Chains A and B, each alone.
Chain A
Amino acid sequence: MILLKMAWRNIWRHRWRSVLTIGAIVFGLSLNIWAFCLTEGSHEQWIRNSVESFSGHLQIHRAGYQDDPSLRLSFKPDSSLFQLLRQTNPSVRDWGARINTFGLASVGETSFAAMIVGIEPEREARFIHWGSKIEHGEYLAAGDMHGVLIGADLAKNLEVGLGDTVIIVTQDFYGSLAGALRVVRGMFRSYSPELDRSGLLVSLHSAQEMLSMGDRVNAIVVMVSSSEEVETVQTALVQGLDNEKMEVIPWYEILPDIVQAVELDNVFGLLTNAILLLVIGFMVLNTFLMSVLERMREFGIMRSLGASPARVIGLIALEAFFLILVGYALANAIGVTASWYNSIHPLDFSGYGEEVYKMYGMDPRIYAHLTLKMVLYPNLMVLAVIALSLVYPAWRASRIKPAEAVFRR
């Protein structure tokens, strides 16, 4: 009990030093919590944007399509497949069939490589927000056999406007050269730079006709009600399908580059984090070492009065504990409040290098994602660093020789 009292008094004996130490903890920890929540938020958003703007959570293909996409690896979706998707409800939110292939888009003498995607306009409008991505013109109407939506950058490169005709040349299901004329109904800008640069969206039926596909499709894009359920739904679909013939691919295998980019960003995040932690560590080490060295005489007297080295260490630990307690309370309050605020009001970077964000398919407005994990991790990391930086001062204090220390001036 006496230790507690001594520790509490010792802290307020050097008011400014203690305030500075608490300040260091508050600054470092709250910043860490905020940064963690923002990074997590931006990654989630990034992934969500990609998933919701094109890939979907899961895709059902003919087996082998993911490794070697071709029109040949297509299938006729039958009622048993739709039955399966309906059964997996309510986790399955929606789905739509697609055809994907490559070809050339040309106007006059200019031509560019094109990614041709046949979509079910009315179905996809429900889960891929194509409508909001249309920069000019209109979204495809149901049953439009002659229209095309073209990526904004591809349109710029081809110098086409609304109502212009684009020649699409590709290979059909049988591998023959196939050509089609399509009228530009709209230009879109998605979160996928690749799609903006090369995407041609046509209705599924028009793609099937152009490519002699009959009623075959390449993929069923499946949206799940929340991203946590992707694996559950995947397992259910895999169980319900003939795995010799069909495959179910989750978004992170369809978009491996996004997963890698997130991992890379995490590495950079950890580096910044390490620097921040190092700064906190040195600040704490500095104040505590100072307070210990300054009070050598005091500790010497404590020892002379019969206190064991463990009691001296205990005293220092208790002082640290009080500082950490106050610092943590403040830091968490500030960090959580700031993160919570940014989870509602995003940090808006539009206007600062917006092009760069676009290039990486990111949204310039970043929402924080506040979760227990994102608060707990920085707390534990800062605690570990403080504990580490206390070792040396405590060791010094416990090692003093009482006689020498008392008479030291």
Chain B
Amino acid sequence: MISRACRIALGAVILLTAGSLRAVELDSTLARRIAEHADTLWRGKSSHATYRMTVVRPDWSRSMTMESRERGKDLSFIEVSEPPREAGTAFLKREGQMWSWLPDIERTIKIPPSMMMDSWMGSDFTNDDLLHESSLSDDYTHNVLALDTVDASPAYVVELKPRPQAPVVWDRILIWVRVSDFIPLQEEYYDERGRKIRTMYFKDIGLISGRTIPKRFILEPHLKKGQRTEFEILELEFNAKIPDRIFTRQHLERSR
């Protein structure tokens, strides 16, 4: 009798353990797939896009139009076309460094480490945000926390914690993605003191260049009242052919 009870109990424990292990495994693969999807959503092998960036401040706001060409996450070339005051300003990202062409002085400057945390073109993004796009799938561990709804769509809430030694700024990121297709709806960024520093909202989900993606995103820093930066995709072509010479300093300096 006793031995039978023992066997049943043991069996139950094994079953329960296996079950919860499978659940965890499922959970982490799901979370990882969500992160990978978020990483590749805007990034084909290459992309060629036109954006409008609007910077909103308590007492003013202004818009800029820019053309961006990217290949992978290491090469990118961005050129401002509007307004006239900024037109011609260009950025080249290559080999983990960033250069900027300033038409006012007709010179290229390399963005120094001391300016990495400064605002990029007056927006709520920093130079570092642009230069070190961290990989949500490689640099973080993932965990599905809950189910939630954002703008009436059911969404998974995924918690991202940086892997040890990962070169990232944030201590915790929460991502809301649509259950149906993993499209991101909202991202919250926390610092090491647990403060919510900024939230990114993804809007206007629609089809562009054969993919369903949010066409507008809004970054809101929480510690600065009345500030936000909006990005709107005007044109976007995935896997566009971009010649190598675009991503060179010669092009940065001589193309105009």
What is A's interface to B at a CB cutoff of 8 Å? 72, 104, 106, 111, 113, 167, 169, 171-172, 174-181, 212
Interface contact A171-B102, CB-CB below 8 Å: no
State the 6 A-B residue pairs at the shortest beta-carbon distance, nearest first: A175-B122, A179-B102, A179-B105, A174-B122, A175-B119, A176-B122
> A-facing mask of B7-45, CB < 8 A → 1, else 0?
000000000000000000000000000000000000000
> A-facing mask of B57-89, CB < 8 A → 1, else 0?
100101000000000000000000000011001
Interface contact B122-A171, CB-CB below 8 Å: yes
> A-facing mask of B86-109, CB < 8 A → 1, else 0?
100100000000001010110101
Also in contact, A176 and B109, with CB within 8 A (given A72-B57, A113-B114, A171-B118): no
A175: which of B109, B114, B123 is its contact (CB, 8 Å)?
A: B123
Interface contact B122-A104, CB-CB below 8 Å: no
A-B residue pairs in contact (CB < 8 Å), sample of 9: A106-B109, A167-B105, A169-B102, A174-B60, A175-B119, A176-B86, A177-B100, A177-B121, A181-B105
Name B104's closest neighbour in chain A (CB-CB). Answer: A179
| Any A CB within 8 A of the CB of B112 | yes
Q: Contacts of B185 on A, CB cut-off 8 Å?
A: none
Interface contact B109-A169, CB-CB below 8 Å: yes
Name B60's closest neighbour in chain A (CB-CB). Answer: A174
Q: Contacts of B85 on A, CB cut-off 8 Å?
A: 212
Name A168's closest neighbour in chain B (CB-CB). Answer: B105
What is B's interface to A at a CB cutoff of 8 Å? 55, 57, 60, 62, 85-86, 89, 100, 102, 104-105, 107, 109, 112, 114-115, 118-119, 121-123
Also in contact, A174 and B55, with CB within 8 A (given A111-B112, A167-B107): yes
Also in contact, A171 and B109, with CB within 8 A (given A177-B89, A179-B104, A180-B104): no
CA distance A167 to B122 in the complex (A): 20
Interface contact A178-B102, CB-CB below 8 Å: yes
Q: Contacts of B100 on A, CB cut-off 8 Å?
A: 177
Task: Tell which of A171, A172, A177 has the most Cβ of chain B within 10 Å.
Answer: A177
Q: How far is the CB of B226 from chain A (nearest CB, A)?
A: 11
Interface contact A177-B102, CB-CB below 8 Å: yes
B112: which of A104, A172, A178 is its contact (CB, 8 Å)?
A: A104
Q: How far is the CB of B196 from chain A (nearest CB, A)?
A: 21
Interface contact A178-B122, CB-CB below 8 Å: no
Name B108's closest neighbour in chain A (CB-CB). Answer: A179
Q: Contacts of A104 on B, CB cut-off 8 Å?
A: 112, 114-115
Q: Contacts of B104 on A, CB cut-off 8 Å?
A: 178-180
Q: Contacts of B109 on A, CB cut-off 8 Å?
A: 106, 167, 169, 177, 179
B105: which of A72, A111, A174, A180 is its contact (CB, 8 Å)?
A: A180
CA distance A167 to B100 in the complex (A): 14
Name A181's closest neighbour in chain B (CB-CB). Answer: B105
Name B80's closest neighbour in chain A (CB-CB). Answer: A176
CA distance A178 to B85 in the complex (A): 10
Interface contact A176-B112, CB-CB below 8 Å: no
CA distance A106 to B102 in the complex (A): 14
Known: A111-B112, A171-B118. 6 other contacts (CB 8 A): A72-B57, A167-B105, A169-B102, A174-B60, A176-B89, A177-B109
Also in contact, A174 and B62, with CB within 8 A (given A167-B107, A169-B102): yes
CA distance A78 to B62 in the complex (A): 25
CA distance A106 to B112 in the complex (A): 12
Also in contact, A176 and B105, with CB within 8 A (given A111-B112, A212-B85): no
CA distance A180 to B118 in the complex (A): 18
Q: Contacts of B105 on A, CB cut-off 8 Å?
A: 167, 179-181
Q: Contacts of B123 on A, CB cut-off 8 Å?
A: 175
CA distance A178 to B118 in the complex (A): 13
CA distance A178 to B86 in the complex (A): 9
Q: How far is the CB of B61 from chain A (nearest CB, A)?
A: 10
CA distance A175 to B126 in the complex (A): 11
CA distance A171 to B85 in the complex (A): 14
CA distance A87 to B102 in the complex (A): 45
Q: How far is the CB of A219 from chain B (nearest CB, A)?
A: 18
Q: How far is the CB of A57 from chain B (nearest CB, A)?
A: 30
Name A111's closest neighbour in chain B (CB-CB). Answer: B112
Q: Contacts of A72 on B, CB cut-off 8 Å?
A: 57
A179: which of B107, B112, B114, B115 is its contact (CB, 8 Å)?
A: B107
Task: Tell which of A111, A172, A179 has the most Cβ of chain B within 10 Å.
Answer: A179
Q: Contacts of B107 on A, CB cut-off 8 Å?
A: 167, 179
Q: How far is the CB of B80 from chain A (nearest CB, A)?
A: 9
A176: which of B60, B114, B121 is its contact (CB, 8 Å)?
A: B121
Name A174's closest neighbour in chain B (CB-CB). Answer: B122
Q: Contacts of A177 on B, CB cut-off 8 Å?
A: 89, 100, 102, 109, 121
CA distance A167 to B85 in the complex (A): 19
Name B118's closest neighbour in chain A (CB-CB). Answer: A171
Q: How far is the CB of A75 from chain B (nearest CB, A)?
A: 11
Task: Tell which of A171, A172, A174, A212 has the most Cβ of chain B within 10 Å.
Answer: A174
Name B114's closest neighbour in chain A (CB-CB). Answer: A113
Name A178's closest neighbour in chain B (CB-CB). Answer: B104
Q: Contacts of A179 on B, CB cut-off 8 Å?
A: 102, 104-105, 107, 109
CA distance A52 to B175 in the complex (A): 55
